[in-house]
A and B are shown apart, each in its own frame.
Chain A
Amino acid sequence: GAVVSQHPSWVICKSGTSVKIECRSLDFQATTMFWYRQFPKQSLMLMATSNEGSKATYEQGVEKDKFLINHASLTLSTLTVTSAHPEDSSFYICSARHRDSSSYEQYFGPGTRLTVT
């Protein structure tokens, strides 16, 4: 149980284009999903917290107009990187917290490797 998937697993796009990454909780409902970014040999940095049916909460320094987050259902959140630039190249990972859990574990997806050329 507690499986989270991401699609695509890797993507290459040209500078100036937009890319959408999907995050799905496959066997549970998640009221809250999280988006992280991880640079090589560094730890995970939280970008934003998304709650189903409401606007995402972005961390300080993360541009909300550049990283659009939509959490339309209890099993799906999407991250769209708009007008991507090479400095946006990174490993993007989502996580989800079980809706009915009294604990606070976050279960992570496998990640999406974005390369902007």
Chain B
Amino acid sequence: EDQVTQSPEALRLQEGESSSLNCSYTVSGLRGLFWYRQDPGKGPEFLFTLYSAGEEKEKERLKATLTKKESFLHITAPKPEDSATYLCAVQASKTDKLIFGTGTRLQVFP
């Protein structure tokens, strides 16, 4: 069964304190792994797609990496505006469906 597990559930950081969020997955043939950001009461905002092990993508203070079993979202020198829930999702080959993890709720304090 396709499954996504994210850790930690919640993370509190001081502004400028870098850290990483983990997304472990099992999937029958990975078509893509997706990272989204979700603010309270809003829909998810697309961040990255990773397709193969070894791939990395960056956007501002965020960097996503992928191995055959997990993905990391690295946050460098976070700011309070980075506070949000970060969702990881996988798409198995031959399907359009996304399987979401439960997310990591990030709070960055000034």
Q: Which residues of A pack against B, CB within 8 Å? A: 2, 4, 6, 32, 34, 42-46, 49, 91, 93, 95, 97, 103-111, 113
Contacts and interface: CB of A to CB of B under 8 A. Distances in A.
The 9 closest A-B CB pairs, nearest first, are A108-B43, A43-B100, A43-B102, A108-B44, A111-B43, A110-B43, A44-B100, A93-B43, A104-B32
Interface string B15-55: 00000000000000001101010000111111001000000
Contact of B46 (A43, A105, A110, A111): A105
Nearest to A112: B43
**Main SS at interface, chain A:** strand
Given A103-B49, A108-B43, A111-B43, A46 B31 contact: no
A29 to B, nearest CB: 16
B60 interface: no
B103 A43 contact: yes
A91 B45 CA distance: 16
A95 B100 CA distance: 13
A95 B45 CA distance: 11
A45 B45 CA distance: 16
Contact of A32 (B31, B45, B96, B103): B96
Nearest to A49: B96
19 contacts: A2-B46, A6-B43, A34-B97, A42-B102, A43-B102, A46-B98, A104-B31, A104-B32, A104-B49, A105-B32, A105-B34, A105-B46, A106-B46, A108-B43, A109-B43, A110-B43, A111-B41, A111-B43, A113-B41
Nearest to B34: A105
Interface of B: 31-32, 34, 36, 41-46, 49, 87, 91, 96-98, 100-103
Nearest to A110: B43
B45 A108 contact: yes
A49 B46 contact: no
B87 A44 contact: yes
